[in-house]
Structure 1
Amino acid sequence: MSDPIIAGVDGSPASLGAARHAADAAHRRDAPLVLVHGYLHAFGYGIPINPYDGELPGPNEDGERMLVETAAALRADRPGLAVQTRQVAAGGAPTLIEESRHAELVVVGSRGHGGFAGLLLGSVSSQVAGHAHCPVLVVRPPEAPVDADGPVLVGVDGSAHADTALHVAADEAASRGTTLALLHVWWPSSMRDTTEVVAADGARREAGEVLDSATATVRRRHPDLPVDQRPVEGVEADAVMVEASRKASLVVVGSRGRGGFAGLLLGSVSQTLVHHAHCPVLVARPHSHRA
């Protein structure tokens, strides 16, 4: 049996939206879906925890009812989908990070817009996106309906992190039967050449080479996959990617691997997209258990 798709659910609209996306991913991959509810918070969520009592509270009835109802709704919409449910005596983020050690994908919801970048996702989503042991799909509440037939968007720049995202994005586009959009943001540098015109021509040519190389990489694994090359002149790659996400069904971003701070694990462009993209964002983290 293939590794499961894990969805963190807590009964909130964001987590229920994430569960639906997780069910779609499980259906495409012919993988089992596991709905997980970590029912303990660091401060107990009002549950009286006696520090002198060695026993943790057991699973609660409300949580179990929420899991059962969510699983039933997902099965009704997708006949044949294998859905399991599980309550874990831990916080949401630690639970999902631990579950990710043996998962194909972890799916989390987000809170939507807010005043601080770290709070846009919520502590659980942000921690999971930065520390999971497998790819993470972050589902944000969209401002407008997401085009399910829209392209899978990925930024390419020739780096190792971008190459990892490229492979994941190509696989996603192929499984969804849609176009893969390769976006490369370039800008001329007068430090490189003697004139601005020459600098612009050189930068434009390099952008084409980066996109051609990425397309060739995709063709080796998916020879028939439609590929849309998008060279864009600009300075702020994150802003360009966020705007392009308006017409995408999914954005795929890379991660830097492991480290001490979640923001640094993702990188600035990835961090911006995870918080501000107009469609779901897939963080292409490596599967640690397959290394």
Structure 2
Amino acid sequence: MSGVVVVGVDGSASSLAAVEAAAREARLRGAGLRVVHAFIWPAMHVPLGPSPLGPAEGGLRNMADRLVADAVERARAVEPEVEVGHEVVTGEPLTVLEAQSRAAELVVVGSRGMGGFVGLLVGSTAVHLAAYGRCPVLVVREQPSAEGPIVLGVDGSTAGGAAVDFAFAEAELRKAPLVALHAWTTWNAPMPAPKDPSMPYASPPGALAGEEERLLSEALAGCQERYPGVVVEHRVVHGATRAALIDASRSAQLVVTGARGRGGFAGLLLGSVSQALLHHAHCPVVVVRGADARH
């Protein structure tokens, strides 16, 4: 066994769905699974034990232990061969899970937890962890399909290379086809060099589309050599990236994206495309940060 997959739990239905997904990911990787609950109540300076007037099994600490035990039982029911550990860690969820991500292969969370507000499509822990996690973060939005491809959003940026690597490895583990999708518009496509220097702003018909197809091929080239068994569809779309990936997610079992893309603003750890997917994708989403993720 190598490595560990961490799943954050809070007793919600969303976190139990995350436990099932995390157990499957651990089995695919030959990794262990660690069920983690962030126990925030000690910081609130409230009584943690059972009330003198209540049952002995009452109290916040016993409740935390029970919800972790339920999650462990769910994981073992889904993947009996996976070694499952568990931990109740004092602290708030983002801080606890960010610390756990430093030594994990993957962190898995539900899209909304017990503290989710009605009307919000995704919880703050999922969004912030995707931005600050030190390893790839899988957010389980809807019940994952066993069929369909893995969809990879490719923008050709250096930062996006880690997402490309992850998607190919995941496709090989799942024995799934990979759809590498690159969307572009005339506003975000780099202008190709003109063939006639006397006309610096003129491009022949189809030049932009050709450049975008070349960008996609170059972004995938190294991984296609390392993972020759992965069947890859190159899909270049003239249109908005967010809309194209959300639409592709309807038939996918997983969408993989980088945290920030080619158009990201300096200082922002999570880009608009990854945020849109976390809120609106029709399948689980993995957000993969670039080379800075372990620092």
Could you tell me which residue of structure 2 aligns to residue 228 of structure 1?
233
Could you tell me which residue of structure 2 aligns to residue 238 of structure 1?
242
Bigger mean CA offset, 216-225 vs 145-154: 145-154
Question: 2-side partners of 1:285 and 1:207: how far apart?
Answer: 23
**Per-residue deviation, 1:129:** 1.2
Residues 213-259 of structure 1 show CA distances to partners (whole Å, capped at 9, x for unaligned) of 2342222210121001111111x2111111111111111111249xx
Could you tell me which residue of structure 2 aligns to residue 123 of structure 1?
124
TM-score, normalization by structure 2: 0.81
Structure 2 vs 1, CA of residues 41 and 65 (structure 1 numbering), >3 Å: closer, same or farther? closer
Question: 2-side partners of 1:186 and 1:286: how far apart?
Answer: 21
**Per-residue deviation, 1:121:** 2.2
Asked if structure 1 preserves the Cα contact closer than 8 Å seen for 2:22 and 2:33, the reply is: yes
Could you tell me which residue of structure 2 aligns to residue 53 of structure 1?
none
Asked if structure 2 preserves the Cα contact closer than 8 Å seen for 1:59 and 1:87, the reply is: no
**Per-residue deviation, 1:198:** 5.3
Question: 2-side partners of 1:47 and 1:114: how far apart?
Answer: 23
Which secondary structure state, in structure 2, belongs to the residue aligned with residue 60 of structure 1? helix
AA aligned opposite 2:134: H
Which secondary structure state, in structure 1, belongs to the residue aligned with residue 289 of structure 2? coil
**Per-residue deviation, 1:114:** 7.4
Asked if structure 2 preserves the Cα contact closer than 8 Å seen for 1:135 and 1:286, the reply is: no
Could you tell me which residue of structure 2 aligns to residue 75 of structure 1?
76
Which secondary structure state, in structure 2, belongs to the residue aligned with residue 66 of structure 1? helix
Could you tell me which residue of structure 2 aligns to residue 165 of structure 1?
163
Asked if structure 2 preserves the Cα contact closer than 8 Å seen for 1:174 and 1:225, the reply is: yes
Could you tell me which residue of structure 2 aligns to residue 14 of structure 1?
14
Q: RMSD across aligned C-alpha pairs, in angstroms?
A: 3.2
Could you tell me which residue of structure 2 aligns to residue 274 of structure 1?
278
Question: 2-side partners of 1:81 and 1:214: how far apart?
Answer: 34
> Which contiguous aligned blocks of 4+ residues in structure 1 show a shift greater than 6 angstroms?
112-116, 189-194, 287-291
AA aligned opposite 1:242: I
**Structure 2, unaligned stretches of length 5 or more?**
49-58
Asked if structure 2 preserves the Cα contact closer than 8 Å seen for 1:254 and 1:270, the reply is: yes
Structure 2 vs 1, CA of residues 200 and 245 (structure 1 numbering), >3 Å: closer, same or farther? farther
TM-score, normalization by structure 1: 0.82
**Per-residue deviation, 1:285:** 2.6
Which secondary structure state, in structure 1, belongs to the residue aligned with residue 206 of structure 2? helix
Residues 74-125 of structure 1 show CA distances to partners (whole Å, capped at 9, x for unaligned) of 2123222111111111111111111111111111111299788xx5322222
Question: 2-side partners of 1:286 and 1:105: how far apart?
Answer: 14
**Per-residue deviation, 1:59:** 7.0
Report the number of matched residues.
271
Structure 2 vs 1, CA of residues 2 and 289 (structure 1 numbering), >3 Å: closer, same or farther? farther
Asked if structure 1 preserves the Cα contact closer than 8 Å seen for 2:130 and 2:259, the reply is: no
Structure 2 vs 1, CA of residues 250 and 42 (structure 1 numbering), >3 Å: closer, same or farther? farther
Asked if structure 1 preserves the Cα contact closer than 8 Å seen for 2:108 and 2:137, the reply is: yes
Question: 2-side partners of 1:100 and 1:245: how far apart?
Answer: 26
**Per-residue deviation, 1:147:** 2.7
Which secondary structure state, in structure 1, belongs to the residue aligned with residue 2 of structure 2? coil
**Structure 1, unaligned stretches of length 5 or more?**
50-57
AA aligned opposite 2:282: H
Could you tell me which residue of structure 1 aligns to residue 207 of structure 2?
202
Asked if structure 2 preserves the Cα contact closer than 8 Å seen for 1:39 and 1:87, the reply is: yes
Which secondary structure state, in structure 2, belongs to the residue aligned with residue 20 of structure 1? helix
Could you tell me which residue of structure 2 aligns to residue 248 of structure 1?
252
AA aligned opposite 2:70: E
Q: Which has the higher helix share?
A: 1
Could you tell me which residue of structure 2 aligns to residue 99 of structure 1?
100
Which structure has the larger Rg?
Answer: 2
Structure 1 residues 48-67: aligned runs within 5 Å: 48=47, 60-67=61-68
Which secondary structure state, in structure 1, belongs to the residue aligned with residue 230 of structure 2? coil
Asked if structure 2 preserves the Cα contact closer than 8 Å seen for 1:11 and 1:66, the reply is: yes
Which secondary structure state, in structure 2, belongs to the residue aligned with residue 266 of structure 1? coil
Asked if structure 2 preserves the Cα contact closer than 8 Å seen for 1:187 and 1:233, the reply is: yes
Question: 2-side partners of 1:201 and 1:85: how far apart?
Answer: 55
Question: 1-side partners of 2:205 and 2:288: how far apart?
Answer: 32
Asked if structure 2 preserves the Cα contact closer than 8 Å seen for 1:9 and 1:19, the reply is: yes
Identity %: 41
Which secondary structure state, in structure 2, belongs to the residue aligned with residue 106 of structure 1? strand
